[in-house]
Amino acid sequence: MDILIIDDSAFIRAFTRIHLAEAGYVVGEVNPTSLFMVLEAIHTHRPALVITDYEMPFCNGETLVRAIREDPVIRDIPILVLSAHRESDLIERLSHWDLAGYIVKPIKPEDLVATVQRHLPPSNHSVEAWPSPEII
């Protein structure tokens, strides 16, 4: 799997998945219900890139990013945070966790794809090879 999308919004997961799949990425998504479940999905599917929301009911993006970075098995996976938060102090705090990027919502599809392409070339799998988007 190229990209794992972690967001409690079905709309944002679908928007992100559709546009990245059209660009040639194999994309899975998780509707997060617990930090443990998200970390288990990352361990199981070993995505090349994680895109996560910041505001989620089970924890905020900073908690998730910290948990990923402190896990020796998955710490090197690039992470993009997708959020409506624009506060410079939040973005500064998150930058200490070696993010691949911080994307402010709303975002245009072409900007999303361009940001992802800077970190991960498309896999160019055929549509038939794409896994079911809801992996958990």
Q: What is the pLDDT of residues 5-41, one digit of tens each?
A: 999 999 999 999 999 999 999 999 999 889 999 999 9
Burial class of 88 by CB neighbour count within 10 A (0 to 12, 13 to 18, 19+): exposed
Rg, C-alpha atoms of the chain: 14
Give all strands of the β-sheet with 3-6 in edge-to-edge order.
27-30, 3-6, 49-53, 79-83, 101-104
CA–CA distance, 95 with 7 (Å, rounded to integer): 20
Question: pLDDT value at position 67?
Answer: 95
Residue 104: the pLDDT is 82
Whether 74 shows a pLDDT value over 80: the answer reads yes
Report the candidate in 44, 41, 49 with the shortest Cα–Cα distance to residue 20: 49
Give the pLDDT band (50/70/90) at residue 103. confident
Say what the pLDDT of residue 90 is. 62
Structure tokens at 35: 């930090």
Tokens 């809801």 locate to 134
